[in-house]
Amino acid sequence: MTAPVSVLADFRSDTVTTPTPEMRQAMAQAAVGDDVYGEDPTVNALQTELARLTGFEAGLFMPSGTMTNQVAIALHTRRGEEVVCAEGSHIYEWELGMMAAFSGVVPRFVPAPLGVPDPGDIRLAVRRSIHQSPTGMISLENTHNKAGGTIIPLDVLAAIRNVAQEEGLPLHLDGARVFNAAAALGVPLREITRHFDTVSICLSKGLGAPVGSVLLGSAAAMKQAHRYRKMMGGGMRQAGVLAAAALVAVRDGPARLAQDHRRTQQLARALVDAGFNVDLRAVQTNIIYARMPQAQACVDAWAARGVLASALGPDSVRFVLHHQVTDDGLEAAIRVLTAQSPEQESKPASTMSR
């Protein structure tokens, strides 16, 4: 047995944040009721606050972003239809086939260099022929996780909105990290969310809440969403204890994102300087992908020295910044990560070398 290593920085995901003392206190004091009956005042306050920030009529709190996305797909589609979305979209890649399992629909990917689909490609992907499965909806992801936390420019959003309108199709946003996009663009959240019919937002990513996502839309859509949420097993009772922490996350979290983004740039530059293969064009918010052979072996070696990252695929490592990575932690982590870089692989054998 080796001695446990103390963690210098946990870059595996921005979901690893633990509740702050302010959140713990709010949880302890939260007013609660039965949310399946719509009677939890703290859940209602959270939904109202996010509806206000995004400009929607209503919101619905759910346990996860997978659930908010999949409820949105159920709302917008009928069995046998297609969901047009950017290649690598979380709604298909990382939601375990649920769009097929629950809604009976399939994805149609469009190319998305740096996570940004071309509005013309989206129009071309829309199907109308009686010989093809009809398009039920269009879904975007902003920021785009698999592309590296990349942002869809506002003019591209507006153009895709026009395509959706002209084609008469609902437009959904997987906005798991839409607060990161707004912070990086320096615009209010609604400048992004106003283009969509429904928006899913994760509170347990960079904002730091322990649990939960919110789906936003019209009051009528959220009424129907309530039914799908219950079908999926997402009807929670005294969920106000969770919503209380989420309200603190929504209040305090957004202002911290610029700092996460600054530290992400710092780490990305240190990695590039040390010879890592990082596409800096994709480093726009709080995520960095580095390509390297034997990704898992590298991640294991760093973990033994207190720096945690995720091997996503055989040759790809992901680093995600969040508010519980401090400047000191970051500097210590950079020392570990750059101690022997891929460039120096000809030096004496080390598991760190590749």
Ligand X SMILES: *Cc1c(COP(=O)(O)O)cnc(C)c1O
Cα 194 to Cα 49, 109, 137, 183, 217, distances in angstroms: 16, 24, 17, 16, 10
Using the rule CB under 6 A, is 161 a contact of ligand X? Answer: no
Q: Distance from CA of residue 80 to its chain's centroid?
A: 27
Stretch that binds ligand X, among 61-69, 244-252, 253-261, 279-287 (CB under 6 A): 61-69
Cβ atoms of 331 and 322 closer than 8 Å: no
Stretch that binds ligand X, among 65-73, 126-134, 164-172, 309-317 (CB under 6 A): 65-73
Which residue shows structure tokens 């919101």?
A: 59
Q: What is the DSSP string of 101-118?
A: HHH--EEEEE--GGG---
Q: Distance from CA of residue 66 to its chain's centroid?
A: 10
Cβ atoms of 154 and 185 closer than 8 Å: yes
Judged by beta carbon, residue 149 or residue 342, the one nearer ligand X is: 149
User: Which positions from 168 through 187 interact with ligand X, judged by CB under 6 A?
Assistant: 174, 176
What is d(CA 296, CA 354) in angstroms, rounded to the nearest whole number? 10
Using the rule CB under 6 A, is 23 a contact of ligand X? Answer: no
User: Which positions from 227 through 286 interact with ligand X, judged by CB under 6 A?
Assistant: none
Judged by beta carbon, residue 90 or residue 263, the one nearer ligand X is: 90
Using the rule CB under 6 A, is 43 a contact of ligand X? Answer: no
Number of residues that bind ligand X (CB under 6 A): 12
> Shortest gap between Cβ of 72 and ligand X (angstroms)?
11
Judged by beta carbon, residue 119 or residue 175, the one nearer ligand X is: 175
b/e burial code for range 40-72 (CB count within 10 A of at least 16 → b): bebbbbbbebbbebbebebbbbbbbbbbbbbbb
Stretch that binds ligand X, among 63-71, 127-135, 152-160, 229-237 (CB under 6 A): 63-71
Site string for ligand X, 197-216 (x = CB under 6 A): -----x--x-------x---
Q: Are strands 135-141 and 307-308 parallel, antiparallel or unpaired?
A: unpaired
User: Which positions from 294 through 353 interact with ligand X, judged by CB under 6 A?
Assistant: none
Quick one: CA torsion of 12, 16, 20, 26, rounded to 10 degrees?
A: 150
Using the rule CB under 6 A, is 123 a contact of ligand X? Answer: no
Stretch that binds ligand X, among 62-70, 161-169, 249-257, 275-283 (CB under 6 A): 62-70
Cβ atoms of 147 and 283 closer than 8 Å: no
Residue number with the shortest CB distance to ligand X? 65
Residue of 20, 42, 66, 285 that binds ligand X (CB under 6 A): 66
Residue of 42, 145, 150, 264 that binds ligand X (CB under 6 A): 145
What lies within 8 Å, CB to CB, of 114 at 6+ separation is: 144, 147, 148, 150, 281, 282
Using the rule CB under 6 A, is 40 a contact of ligand X? Answer: no
Positions in the binding site for ligand X (CB under 6 A): 64-66, 69, 90, 141, 145, 174, 176, 202, 205, 213
